[in-house]
């Protein structure tokens, strides 16, 4: 019996709900692996359906279609190999399971996910069932301990598999990116290896799915926790390791491939590029458009869009009013030149005057305030949506996490859009990412190599330019202070007293916390956006809109 086994880590970009396309990708990959003499193709969690399928799995017709795919793969596998490890949702006597199957020569061996995550972006316990830890699977002289994503984050599943005779751990994953995950995954995997003295293979998917983006980074560790294989991040990639039994019946690994991986600002920027790209492509939009104010947010959003889609699929719209400075108009024009995108200009002053004149009688005796500022923003929102409707390009909104946190956005105005690349990037991140992009480039990008954001957009004081000589810091603290407070409240759930003890003004901290809670209704109506942090708005941070508990200690 063959004891040398060539295992391919198949890191692919699957499309939720497109079962035929996913099957085609699996079959094509298997065909290439067969040409190379491979024994086993390992795909990611729920690879047949794409991850996460959410409530699609509750539709009987969807599960029937998945079963049909499994039948096709079973028939295909009778050709002698390579075998497949596939993730899919399974109906087990009326109970839905998040399952993995090893399919080889017309035979299927099944394991079910034991730990079903119900935190952060995950909600699996609502739709799937869990009953027991499965045992190892015998495959060509090797006993494989097969785990599914969350099962690796607990020691009980791997220890049970080791005690049951597993010789190697294989983990299939749908693990979305956040800025902390890169180090956490490898650390947890090393813990499982140390506890079991077994080598471990980790296969993750890549690609954007709504607000989630998957970064790949599949890897393999030997039983001494040495990194034997490291797939790239942010792209489809298929690499292999070869394993064999030594004289002590322990698994050894050969064929070391270590690809360089990104981290920090590069990973954040890549996440936004890939997340936007897949959202546009998978939802069949022609391209994107956005309002270009000359500010840092719209400039960075435009650069991300061009890197994601190419300059020919991005369109900028300048919409000046009497409060727009010539410098801002020039900066927006320079953004267009740096990115080689089309820019149109529509002056909104006359439209704004019509609104003002028609409301003048109703507003008699009342001073100008945020109402008049918001009208301008909403005029711009209407114009952008009209262009989007007429030409079929998706509007992207340009608000960042700092502004969205404290409600420094206009609902039905600058919040308009189908997607927001900057939604989970704080304002200080926006500056750092802009500086990074002006000095860096990689093969994920479709834009030109070179500066992409005007220097003046980075250096000048931020302003919404909805009033005379307006600056963001007229109503907000400096963004360095604001972001430090917001990160403590949002990411750490820190008490207000603990934040004040760090040296922040008590009145300011209370004010920021109150603005954060009062702006929840706006965030519920905002566009989806790429998750970058461990506590993105939406699924991960769920506060009530109607909430009288506005202060904390």
481 closest CA partner among 402, 383, 422, 398: 402
With 0-12 / 13-18 / 19 or more C-beta atoms within 10 angstroms meaning exposed / middle / buried, residue 462 is: buried
399 within 8 A of 407, measured Cβ to Cβ: no
Strands 237-245 and 5-11: antiparallel
Tell me the C-alpha distance between 216 and 76, whole Å. 27
C-alpha distance across the termini of the chain, in Å = 66
228: annotated active-site residue: no
Please tell me the distance from the alpha carbon of residue 24 to that of residue 21, in angstroms, as a whole number. 5
Catalytic residue among 10, 25, 45, 427: 45
DSSP state of 537: B
**Angstrom distance (rounded) from CA 304 to CA 269:** 8
The encoded tokens of residue 526 equal 């905002």
Annotated catalytic residue, options 149, 423, 465, 484: 149
Instruction: Give Cα separations from 197 to 193, 249, 254, 436 (angstroms).
Output: 5, 12, 17, 41
Pairing of strands 142-148, 137-139: antiparallel
Cα(104)–Cα(144) distance, rounded to whole angstroms? 14
Catalytic residue among 25, 113, 313, 427: 113
If phi > 0 it is left, if psi is from -120 to 50 it is alpha, else beta; for residue 541 that is beta
113 in catalytic set: yes
- Cβ(219)–Cβ(187) below 8 Å: no
- CB-based contact 295:323 (threshold 8 Å): no
Residues assigned a catalytic role: 45, 113, 149
């Amino acid at each position: 019996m063959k004891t040398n086994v060539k295992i391919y880590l198949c890191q692919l970009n699957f499309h939720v709900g497109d079962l035929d396309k996913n099957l085609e990708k699996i079959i094509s990959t298997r065909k290439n692996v067969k040409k190379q003499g491979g024994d086993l193709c390992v795909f990611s969690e729920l690879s047949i359906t794409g991850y996460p399928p959410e409530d699609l799995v509750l539709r009987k017709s969807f599960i029937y279609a998945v079963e049909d795919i499994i039948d096709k793969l079973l028939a295909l596998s009778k050709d002698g190999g390579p075998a497949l490890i596939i993730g899919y949702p399974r109906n087990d006597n009326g109970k839905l399971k998040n399952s993995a199957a090893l399919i080889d020569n017309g035979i299927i061996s099944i394991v079910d996910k034991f730990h079903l995550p119900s935190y952060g972006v995950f909600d699996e316990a609502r739709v799937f069932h869990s009953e027991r830890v499965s045992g190892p699977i015998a495959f060509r002289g090797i006993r494989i301990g097969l785990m599914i994503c969350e099962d690796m984050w607990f020691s009980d599943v791997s220890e049970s598999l080791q005690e049951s005779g597993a010789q190697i751990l294989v983990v299939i994953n749908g693990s979305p990116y956040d800025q902390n995950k890169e180090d956490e995954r490898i650390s947890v995997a090393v813990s499982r290896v140390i506890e079991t003295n077994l080598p471990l293979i980790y296969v993750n998917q890549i690609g954007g799915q709504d607000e989630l983006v998957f970064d790949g980074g599949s890897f393999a560790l030997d039983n001494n926790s040495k990194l034997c294989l490291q797939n790239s991040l942010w792209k489809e990639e298929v690499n292999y390791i070869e394993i064999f039994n030594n004289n002590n019946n322990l698994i050894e690994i050969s064929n070391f491939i270590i690809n360089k991986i990104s981290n920090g600002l590069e990973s954040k920027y890549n996440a936004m590029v890939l997340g936007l790209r897949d959202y546009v492509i998978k939802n069949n939009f022609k391209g994107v458009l956005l309002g270009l104010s000359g500010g840092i947010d719209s400039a960075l959003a435009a650069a991300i869009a061009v890197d994601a889609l190419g300059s020919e699929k991005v369109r900028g719209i300048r919409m000046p009013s009497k409060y727009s400075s010539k410098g801002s108009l020039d900066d927006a024009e320079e953004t267009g030149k740096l990115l080689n995108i089309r820019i149109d200009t529509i002056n909104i002053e006359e439209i704004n005057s019509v609104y003002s004149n028609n409301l003048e009688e109703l507003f008699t005796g009342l001073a100008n305030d945020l109402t008049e500022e918001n009208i301008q923003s909403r005029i711009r929102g209407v114009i952008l949506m009209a262009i989007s409707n007429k030409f079929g390009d998706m509007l992207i909104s340009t608000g960042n996490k700092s502004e969205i946190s404290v409600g420094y956005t206009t609902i039905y105005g600058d919040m308009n859009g189908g997607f927001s690349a900057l939604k989970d990037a704080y304002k200080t991140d926006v500056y750092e990412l802009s500086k990074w992009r002006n000095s860096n480039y990689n093969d994920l990008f479709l834009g030109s190599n070179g500066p992409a954001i005007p220097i003046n957009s980075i250096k000048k004081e931020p302003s919404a330019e909805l009033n005379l000589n307006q600056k963001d810091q007229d109503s907000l603290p400096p963004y360095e202070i604001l972001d430090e407070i917001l990160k403590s409240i949002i990411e750490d759930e820190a008490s207000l007293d603990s934040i004040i003890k760090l040296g922040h003004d008590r009145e300011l901290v209370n004010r920021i916390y109150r603005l954060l809670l009062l702006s929840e209704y706006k965030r519920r109506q905002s566009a989806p956006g790429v998750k970058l942090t461990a506590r993105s708005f939406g699924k991960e941070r769920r506060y009530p809109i109607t909430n009288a508990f506005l202060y904390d200690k």
